[in-house]
A and B are shown apart, each in its own frame.
Chain A
Amino acid sequence: QMTQSPSSVSGSVGDRVTITCRASEDIGNWLVWYQQKPGKAPVVLIYGATTLQGGVPSRFSGSGSGRDFILSINSLQPEDIATYYCQRVNDFPVTFGGGTKVEIK
């Protein structure tokens, strides 16, 4: 079970946005963050809870271990409008969180 919060968040361009993901058990650092834009397949942002995937802008960062994890977007940009998902990958089932929709004010 992966619980994401909030379910939606709105920020102005340039704002810092944070998304939280809580696991129902200790998953170490086995957490992946994805970004999904409407009508598109998901894209990997962060793996190992904190490691930025190649080609992903440095304004994205991940932190946490164990049960609690955070995805941060520093200086929100219009192209960051999307839904963000965490996924536990320590063992099967590799469950996704419910998603967080990020919007621009």
Chain B
Amino acid sequence: EVQLLESGGDLAQPGGSLRLSCAASGFTFSSYAMNWVRQAPGKGLEWVSTITSSGDRTYYADSVKGRFTMSRDNSKGTLYLQLSRLRAEDTAVYYCAQYRGSSTRTSDYWGQGTLVTVSS
């Protein structure tokens, strides 16, 4: 059974930093690209970033480019999102999702999400 478990969400101050993690199991982690998608309270889905299966390429939404860094450790089956220079508008539930980038380009499996709140 595919499982994705996010952690690291917390209350952070504007301008601060956080690191989110996503522990993957039940599939060959190193074979899949991965996504981070966020959802502000009561709002819609917003794609944040994607990383290739090997980790050699990353893609970011303009809203986070230069502030967030996505990475992965295939030996540990874990995905990361480093959030820096946080803003109030970064407050959201952050989901990690498996991405079938080479075929259907769908996110078939998602975690339960981790809440990031940016407030002073």
A interface residues, Cβ below 8 angstroms from B = 30, 32, 34, 36, 41-42, 44, 47-48, 51, 53, 83, 85, 87, 89, 92-99
Contacts and interface: CB of A to CB of B under 8 A. Distances in A.
25 contacts: A32-B105, A36-B45, A41-B111, A41-B112, A41-B113, A42-B37, A42-B45, A42-B107, A42-B110, A44-B106, A47-B104, A48-B104, A53-B106, A83-B44, A87-B45, A89-B105, A92-B50, A92-B59, A93-B59, A94-B35, A94-B47, A96-B45, A97-B44, A99-B44, A99-B45
Interface in B6-63: 35, 37, 44-47, 50, 59, 61-62
Contacts of A51: 104
A87 B44 contact: no
- Interface SS, A side: loop
Contact of B108 (A44, A85, A92, A96): A44
Contacts of A34: 45
B44 A98 contact: yes
A44 B110 CA distance: 10
B47 A47 contact: no
Interface in B94-116: 95, 97, 104-108, 110-113
A44 to B, nearest CB: 5
A95 B47 contact: yes
Given A41-B110, A41-B112, A47 B61 contact: no
A41 B98 CA distance: 12
Contact of B50 (A41, A44, A94, A95): A94
Contacts of A99: 44-45
Contacts of A48: 104
Contacts of B108: 44, 53
Contacts of B44: 83, 85, 96-99
Nearest to A4: B44
